[in-house]
Structure 1
Amino acid sequence: MQASVTPLLGELLRSAARRHPSHDAIVFPDHRLSYAGFSYESHSLARALVARGVRPGDHIGILATNRPEYLPLLFACVLIGAVAVLLNARFRTQELRHVVRHCDLKWIVTGNLHAVPNAERLLEAFPELLQDTARLALAGDAAPKLEHLVALDDTPRGPFEPWQDFLNSAEDVTEQDLICITDTVEPMSTALIMFTSGTTSMPKGCALNHHSVFWTAAAMRDRLSVVHQDVMWDPLPLFHMASILPLFALMHEAGTFLTDHTVDIDRAVKQIHEEQATFLYPAFPAIMADLIAHPDLKPETLPCIRLINNVAHTEVLEANMAAMPLATHISAYGMTELSGIASHTDPADPAEERARNCGQPYIGVEVCIHDPETNLAVTPGSQGEICVKGFSVFQGYYKQPEENAKAFDEAGWFHTGDMGSLDTKGRICFHGRLKDMLKVGGENVSPLEIEAWLSTHPGIAMAQVIGAPDERLQEIPVAFIELHPDARVTEADVVAYCAGQIASYKVPRRVIFVSEWPMSATKIQKAALRDRL
């Protein structure tokens, strides 16, 4: 990508549509959108947003699973300089009440599709919405900035504007009116807020500007030699960077992006065959294992697949390479705070090396390994905290100055909370997490989030959550619980208490009741709890 290009996400779409209007952009099993169609729908939705009073800087929440309207709506937001706040479709009552208020959402677009009733969950989280159908201050003090709700599907109750009525409002704004707004969008303005769990009790909003995401996607394109003819299969949720960043990288070359409403391996294999995918992006071991096990996915019948991206332990990557030997297998290091990815393995490196590291940082991204105690750089090969500088680093956690002060040091390094090292070639080797976080089926999960909810149960005196290894999901949450005297609480009671209040992947899969805790001088020793598993 030439330096003269304006690094705006809206320009990424406009450029691709100008160069390859008839080429497939987004392909679902039951829906296909060309770049011309993608651009037209995005601009129409942008005009509708403007007609309804949305302006640059307004926060627009998208609460939905993967569906054809999702990406045009996202691009409609960034075209006019609004901030697309991509809400995890698995959030339930506690998370939704927190993020809607904390992130100052002015609008929420949602719906009920594919057995995920997001609109209903929003109403459960904000019963205030059913008490007053006025268009202003819909949720009162619970979400004082919230002004408007739009339903993607037929929603029988609540103050939702029907999707078609919203679409029709585009007629009130001309293309020239739209240009007057799109021309004011600046590369350093916030484009996206996406969520990650950390050491706080609730999801944190990561603010990402156009410049960071645009150039990180370009760097991914360059490292992996993405070309116009590439057809990428990535069924991951569109509210995840593991889906959004690969899409943006592909859009730099106007390639084709294959996705689906949910991860369905039968449909996936059919789609990979029919569309002749060249690049698979399962990312997580469970999805890759299901692909390999599928009887219709035979490597010799798919010579078109040139790249497969996964993030996994060395042994898993080596097994993937053996199962799909005709493709080049790559891995990466990243997180939402780094616009998704900071490094990728070089496809030209030998396979045995690609299985053992995460590659060199992208050009323009610096990585240094710091001693967690002294914050001094360590020698090559030594382990420490992975710290990052460069264009890929996010703007910060939205409205969380204390978290930002912890995350960024005086020299401007972002401290990832991950343990790693750099080999003699400057490639990142990941060794685990410093932050006490779980990785459940690709989702980052803060134990404190689960512990905070469990502690509200009247029978629970104390709860500690740790991760137990799981072959399919990498880790599963296990809750150690001390009950109040005379309390009668079962494992089933604990699970039922969590259901519908926190996301399903955060619900403990095991509950272990204890009467005493392994302690250091001041803290519970979670390592000792892990030894009990």
Structure 2
Amino acid sequence: MLQGACVAGGRVTRRRGENVNDFKGKTYAEALELLAERYGETEALVFGEQRYTFRDIKAEADRASRRLLRMGCRPGDKVALWLPNRPEFLWVWLGASQAGLVTVMLNTRLKRDEAAYQLKQSDSRAVVVPGEGGFRDFLEDIAALSPVVAGGSAGGELPMLERVIACDPPGADYPGALTWDRLDEAPADGGMYARDPDAPALIVYSSGTTALPKGAMLTHAVWRKAFDHGERFRQSADDRLYLCVPLFSILANVNGALTFWSRGSCVVLDERFEAERALAAIERERCTAVYLLPLMIDRLLAYDGFEAFDLSSLRTGIVVSSNPDHQSLAAEKLGLRDLVTSYGMTETSSAVTRTWWSDPLEVRTTTHGKPLPNIEVRVAEPDTDAPLPPGEVGEIQVRGYNVMAGYYNKPAETARAFTQDGWYRTGDLGEMLPDGALRYLRRHGDGFKYKGFNVSTAEVEAAIRCHDGVREAAVVGLPAGAAGEVGGAFVVPEPGETLSAEELMDALSAQLASFKLPAHVFFLDALPKTAGTDKVQKYRLKEFALAELAARGCQPDTGA
């Protein structure tokens, strides 16, 4: 066992014993080879009736690499995944990244224009989508953006996009779309693998608080990071994770699949959350861990027949909430007695701090744990970046091997995100406790989280301002119980214009993913602003919204 050390809030703290991390310095290909050698025929993935071992995962990743290379992809090329949860998501991701390509993960709830921005901004040369039978017609959206789907050459709104690949038969309407399992494969070649563990291998878009999303570039070091997650779960090869959180999220891909695979554990993957199917899968597969949003907990406990399911195998997991009541409910009602809490984000390759499974429940529900090995976490004064002592509230800042390589093709945003001495500015407020643990409090700037999704208020405001007749717009987050927060939009019409909430929402529905849509719209003659700087006083808007909703006898919508 090794004894690790890290800087937390300007102090050095010693850790409990942590396992030797064999993934340090390894690439995707080397990590997958290590898993295949170490765990071989151990079950690694369950998806419905499909079951895969660790050797199968390596074989599928290699097959994906050969297909992408035969198709003409070269090291550094971007391959986008616009897929719901299914095994092909994992095969393409692992195969692309181990071959030196960069996998770009897109939220499946993005509207066409939102997806177009991310595909274009990332310079994606190929995109993989479902075919017939998907919950939406992804090919129809791509066809409206690129002539490739109809059999033409690259062009349209996505001039870099050369290949569109469907996991299912694409149908006669899309003659230019390729079918994944019919692609030719390049010959097996050990030289096809990437060798630089510090090279970008993944781009995940994070809304943050700016008007346009930014693509965080993560390196092969996500494997090293994933392994260190598991120690504080008391994770072993006997564990089985039920995972229905979308794979495009950092919680599911790095903090979920890679974390559990890195220690030989099985992932029971589901394409979506439904209370009955989740309960049945946990019982049938004897899952020991589960990742949940507060609304999922509510629906599981409210399901008629909940008591009939045997969930005694469950012992640990993560609840995506900073509300201690949600953590306690999961521990008491679902049996997650070893659940842990964490703090992290996409730009830091997921969790940078984590509690231990053995910490008292009060500690695990009211703090977010101590830094993981070789990661520095501090709380600093937001305007000066000066470190603050324990107990003082400031911006959480992170430094270490795990922090993103930067925002793709956004040098100015990347520069602003770091201090001169390399600390990443998270934009979150928190405090360091005397024992070296971190407590996250809230976002420092604009933005809120709805049902686990980050929503940029600036992005929604920009969409509202595009609507004819809108002079000004501001959006704030309003409390919504288990859903987190919902958007409250404040709109100032142009003089003489008459707008309706229904008209505005119809327009926004065509522009924004459903989780970004405001739950409430308020029309004002003017936005409250500060004297001199002319900045919108959003705290006053929030106060107005809460008072107005209370007067109407209603509360902010939690959504479906």
Amino acid of the structure 2 residue aligned with 1:102: Q
- For structure 1, the 5+ residue unaligned runs are none
* 1:265-297 Cα deviation digits (max 9, x unpaired): 211110000000011111x21122222333444
8 Å CA contact retained: 1:77, 1:84: yes
State the partner residue of 1:42.
Answer: 61
8 Å CA contact retained: 1:153, 1:162: no
8 Å CA contact retained: 1:114, 1:261: no
* 1:288 and 2:301 aligned: no
State the partner residue of 1:181.
Answer: 192
- What secondary structure, in the 3-state scheme, does the structure 2 residue paired with 1:330 have? coil
CA distance in 2, matches of 1:308, 1:100: 33
1:325 is displaced (CA, Å) by: 4.8
State the partner residue of 2:15.
Answer: none
* 1:233 and 2:242 aligned: yes
State the partner residue of 1:357.
Answer: 367
8 Å CA contact retained: 1:95, 1:202: no
State the partner residue of 1:122.
Answer: 142
Aligned identity (percent) is: 28
CA distance in 1, matches of 2:406, 2:23: 27
8 Å CA contact retained: 1:45, 1:167: no
8 Å CA contact retained: 1:31, 1:68: no
State the partner residue of 2:158.
Answer: 143
1:6 is displaced (CA, Å) by: 4.4
* 1:27 and 2:46 aligned: yes
- Which shows bigger deviation, 2-11 or 115-124? 2-11
8 Å CA contact retained: 1:45, 1:72: yes
Q: Which of 492, 496, 516 is matched with 1:506 structurally? A: 516
Amino acid of the structure 1 residue aligned with 2:176: F
- What secondary structure, in the 3-state scheme, does the structure 2 residue paired with 1:355 have? helix
State the partner residue of 1:528.
Answer: 540
CA distance in 1, matches of 2:484, 2:176: 39
Q: Which of 410, 414, 422 is matched with 1:404 structurally? A: 414
* 1:3-43 Cα deviation digits (max 9, x unpaired): 58642223222222223332221212343222222222221
The 5 Å alignment of 1:424-435 reads 424-435=434-445
State the partner residue of 2:320.
Answer: 311
1:319 is displaced (CA, Å) by: 3.1
8 Å CA contact retained: 2:81, 2:129: yes
CA distance in 1, matches of 2:122, 2:385: 31
CA distance in 2, matches of 1:52, 1:75: 16
State the partner residue of 1:302.
Answer: 311
The 5 Å alignment of 1:271-282 reads 271-282=281-292
Q: Which of 357, 371, 375 is matched with 1:347 structurally? A: 357
8 Å CA contact retained: 1:299, 1:325: no
1:408 is displaced (CA, Å) by: 0.2
- What secondary structure, in the 3-state scheme, does the structure 2 residue paired with 1:74 have? helix
1:101 is displaced (CA, Å) by: 1.1
State the partner residue of 1:163.
Answer: 179
* 1:423-472 Cα deviation digits (max 9, x unpaired): 11111101100120110111111111111111111121111111111123
State the partner residue of 1:153.
Answer: 168
Q: Which of 423, 442, 459 is matched with 2:433 structurally? A: 423
Task: Give the 3 Å change call, closer, same or farther, for CA 2–472 of structure 1 in structure 2.
Answer: closer
- What secondary structure, in the 3-state scheme, does the structure 2 residue paired with 1:369 have? strand
CA distance in 1, matches of 2:61, 2:277: 27
1:159 is displaced (CA, Å) by: 5.4
8 Å CA contact retained: 1:478, 1:510: yes
- For structure 2, the 5+ residue unaligned runs are 1-19, 546-560
Q: Which of 78, 91, 106 is matched with 1:59 structurally? A: 78
CA distance in 2, matches of 1:5, 1:329: 26
8 Å CA contact retained: 2:378, 2:397: yes
* Residue correspondences, number: 520
* 1:201-248 Cα deviation digits (max 9, x unpaired): 12110000002x111101102222211111011211110011012211
8 Å CA contact retained: 2:382, 2:394: yes
* 1:384-441 Cα deviation digits (max 9, x unpaired): 0000011221111111111111110111100100000011111110110012011011
Task: Give the 3 Å change call, closer, same or farther, for CA 91–267 of structure 1 in structure 2.
Answer: same
8 Å CA contact retained: 1:198, 1:435: no
CA distance in 1, matches of 2:21, 2:332: 38
CA distance in 2, matches of 1:300, 1:264: 14
CA distance in 2, matches of 1:191, 1:262: 26
Q: Give the TM-score taking structure 1 as reference length.
A: 0.93
CA distance in 1, matches of 2:258, 2:182: 25
CA distance in 2, matches of 1:530, 1:2: 47
- What secondary structure, in the 3-state scheme, does the structure 2 residue paired with 1:430 have? strand
Amino acid of the structure 2 residue aligned with 1:160: G
State the partner residue of 2:3.
Answer: none
Q: Which of 400, 416, 439 is matched with 1:390 structurally? A: 400
Task: Give the 3 Å change call, closer, same or farther, for CA 381–160 of structure 1 in structure 2.
Answer: farther
Task: Give the 3 Å change call, closer, same or farther, for CA 5–465 of structure 1 in structure 2.
Answer: closer
8 Å CA contact retained: 1:48, 1:167: no
8 Å CA contact retained: 1:26, 1:258: yes
Task: Give the 3 Å change call, closer, same or farther, for CA 87–30 of structure 1 in structure 2.
Answer: same
8 Å CA contact retained: 2:457, 2:475: yes
* 1:450 and 2:468 aligned: no
8 Å CA contact retained: 2:312, 2:335: no
8 Å CA contact retained: 1:109, 1:152: yes
1:528 is displaced (CA, Å) by: 0.3
- What secondary structure, in the 3-state scheme, does the structure 1 residue paired with 2:366 have? coil
- Which shows bigger deviation, 308-317 or 362-371? 308-317
State the partner residue of 1:69.
Answer: 88
Task: Give the 3 Å change call, closer, same or farther, for CA 4–67 of structure 1 in structure 2.
Answer: closer
CA distance in 2, matches of 1:300, 1:260: 18
Amino acid of the structure 1 residue aligned with 2:237: H
Amino acid of the structure 2 residue aligned with 1:229: D
* 1:109 and 2:157 aligned: no
- Which shows bigger deviation, 33-42 or 473-482? 33-42
8 Å CA contact retained: 1:384, 1:420: yes
Task: Give the 3 Å change call, closer, same or farther, for CA 272–300 of structure 1 in structure 2.
Answer: closer
Task: Give the 3 Å change call, closer, same or farther, for CA 37–120 of structure 1 in structure 2.
Answer: same
CA distance in 2, matches of 1:447, 1:308: 30
Q: Which of 9, 32, 52 is matched with 2:28 structurally? A: 9
CA distance in 2, matches of 1:121, 1:154: 16
- Which shows bigger deviation, 476-485 or 273-282? 476-485
